[in-house]
Chain A
Amino acid sequence: MKTYTNTGNKDTRSGFGAGLTELGKTNENVVALCADLIGSLKMDDFKANHPERFFQVGIAEANMIGLAAGMTIGGKIPFTGTFANFSTGRVYDQIRQSVAYSDKNVKICASHAGLTLGEDGATHQILEDIGLMKMLPGMTVINTCDYNQTKAATIAIAEHHGPVYLRFGRPKVANFTPENQTFEIGKAVQLTEGTDVTIVATGHLVWEALEASKTLHDKGISAEVINIHTIKPLDDKAILDSVAKTGCIVTAEEHNYLGGLGESVARVLAKHKPTPQEFVATEDTFGESGTPEQLMEKYGLNANAIIKAAETVLKRKY
């Protein structure tokens, strides 16, 4: 079984910051906007190096999205930065009308997604953002799994014309994908080969899926782990090819099962090849305060939960 090494815990938001720094040097059309969260979004470096291309808008996210939409007219590529909740729910209609419907080349970059922002609690822990964003026609939705991948995705989305939602997080997590990888939007990454069960995971749950696959391996269960960094457009083929071999699937995400990756996968399967599926996701609930590890345990979003789901789905396979 192929194994992966954690080269040291790093936060995905720092990967975003590093990607933005890189873009600052290589693409003069890239501009960045932030709503009073420069440090949290790791945009300090871009701001310091390119003050003329950096826009502090204050605590005014709706204005930020509108400004970004306007800046695309004439060729700029705006990257907006705030927490995931304030990047989506807070400004949904601004994104819908001024960005998505108007087909504006805005990159909505969202940190502190999901439960793992920890102690700030449910007001800040959005678990609905993937659903909100994937429902918008034309919106690309990406949820990266580690520092290296987030950096690569940040660089890649500048080259893609069209609105993008890039979702990442606050805590330091395993960094295990290759440095300086090329990031292909919409292309799933198969991490391990397996024959018994497919596990497709996104974001922070990808590392957990790899950890789970090791334990499953020891139990004699062969798991195929796929990193679905792009939820929309979804890599249908990668999913269908895998379940053709394994015949069952677990989806894992730091998001509500309503509206998340699992539902998108279920749609593909229902249409082409009905397959038993278990969902590792929050169950239509708000989050709460706590440490990231405590919350992922309580809400069933870690390697243990994936192992249980795999065992359950295997029993449903006929």
Chain B
Amino acid sequence: MPNTQQLQDLTTQVRRDILRMVHKVNSGHPGGSLGCTEFFVALYQNIMDRKDTFEMDGIGEDLFFLSNGHISPVFYSVLARSGYFPVDELNTFRLINSRLQGHPTTHEGLPGVRVASGSLGQGFSVALGAAETKKLNKDSHLVYSLHGDGELQEGQNWEGIMYAAANKVDNIISTIDLNGQQIDGATDDVLPMGSLKAKFEAFGWTVVTIEKGNDIEAILKGMAEAKSLTGKGKPVCVLLETVMGNGVDFMMHTHAWHGKAPNDEQLAIGLAQNAETLGDY
């Protein structure tokens, strides 16, 4: 298993991938991607128990579902750098005839993607369905999912959240990217949701909060705790407090880069802040 330094190195490389991918096509979503980079790296490199064959039958390994599909750049980069498909394919992001669609899909058969996402609010239900199948299959592996905080404003989430506790789906760890931002501004300005911790607990979930959601060690520790809480009759929620745009100073703490690509000059600044550790694609 990679050590913390190796994970850090991968993190800066993934940031470079994200910036270069969205810059090339002048579209895509860097803000949320950058904020979740440490989480994805830790998840795919250390936390999940994955088959090294990259088979996509969903049996005998942990599964991950990205509900907030717009942060596809970080997902694609980490999938590629974990061996699901050639790193060079990142070059085709959002281009016509590519497997790397703007939002992740299974339609083009990209390894690592298990369901389409992009229309928000559907991932809880799908992840819960996969978790139920794991139980039916007597497969003791876990289901992981990631959701945006703004995304939680969609009602379907709460149908799933209610179902999970009622049906004791305790083989799922659902993480919320708590960056406090969405398209039109801060979540607290657009539609304040109050305490998500209190809400999830009221809905019967066990909640783990990771206050330093951009710190690899804090993520590893928090996710290990979350894992230890599975199998106890309750679904587990991780509230991951991240900084949108993390690692690129002018993109941090704002919704401005939710769905906007950097220009040439901004790209150069962003790249200068993230060392090329493993080789650009």
Contact = CB atoms under 8 A, between A and B. Distances in A.
Given A119-B28, A121-B102, A124-B119, A288 B190 contact: no
Given A85-B119, A123-B69, A290 B95 contact: yes
Interface string A61-103: 1110000000000000000000001100010000000000000
B279 interface: no
B71 to A, nearest CB: 13
B96 A291 contact: yes
A120 to B, nearest CB: 4
Interface residues of A, number: 32
Contact of B184 (A37, A124, A289, A290): A37
- By CB atoms of chain A within 10 A, which of B25, B108, B116, B119 has the most? B119
Contacts of B119: 85-86, 90, 123-124
A251 to B, nearest CB: 25
A121 B117 CA distance: 11
Given A289-B96, A290-B95, A58 B191 contact: yes
B227 interface: no
Given A36-B182, A121-B105, A298 B151 contact: no
B6 interface: no
Contacts of B60: none
Interface string B106-129: 011000000011111100000000
Nearest to A117: B102
Interface string B188-213: 00110000000000000000000000
A60 B155 contact: yes
A120 B154 contact: no
Contacts of B222: none
B121 to A, nearest CB: 7
A284 to B, nearest CB: 14
Interface in B55-101: 69, 94-98, 100-101
Given A63-B155, A85-B119, A286-B107, A119 B94 contact: yes
A63 B153 CA distance: 10
A38 B94 CA distance: 24
A36 B27 contact: no
B121 A120 contact: no
A294 B184 contact: no
Interface residues of B, number: 32
Nearest to B183: A36
A244 interface: no
Nearest to A125: B102
A59 B154 contact: yes
Contact of A56 (B25, B103, B184): B184
A56 B108 CA distance: 35
B155 A290 contact: no
A120 B155 contact: no
A36 B183 CA distance: 6
Nearest to B29: A120
Given A39-B183, A120-B118, A123-B117, A56 B95 contact: no
- By CB atoms of chain B within 10 A, which of A56, A60, A123 has the most? A123
Contacts of B94: 119, 121, 289-290
B25 A121 contact: no
A124 B103 contact: yes
Contact of A123 (B28, B97, B116, B154): B116
Nearest to B116: A123
B149 to A, nearest CB: 10
A122 B96 contact: no
Given A59-B154, A119-B27, A289 B183 contact: no
Interface string B32-68: 0000000000000000000000000000000000000
A60 B153 contact: yes
A59 B153 contact: yes
B180 interface: no
Given A36-B190, A286-B107, A59 B98 contact: no
Contacts of B97: 288, 290
A265 interface: no
A59 B118 contact: no
A172 to B, nearest CB: 14
B184 A36 contact: yes
22 contacts: A36-B150, A36-B191, A39-B183, A40-B183, A119-B25, A119-B94, A119-B102, A120-B103, A120-B118, A121-B94, A121-B103, A121-B105, A123-B105, A123-B118, A123-B119, A288-B97, A288-B101, A289-B98, A289-B101, A289-B102, A290-B94, A294-B96
By Cβ-Cβ distance, the 6 closest A-B pairs, closest first, are: A58-B191, A123-B118, A290-B96, A121-B102, A58-B153, A121-B101
Interface of B: 25, 27-28, 69, 94-98, 100-103, 105, 107-108, 116-121, 150-151, 153-155, 182-184, 190-191
Given A57-B191, A120-B27, 5 more contacts: A38-B184, A58-B182, A85-B119, A121-B103, A122-B101
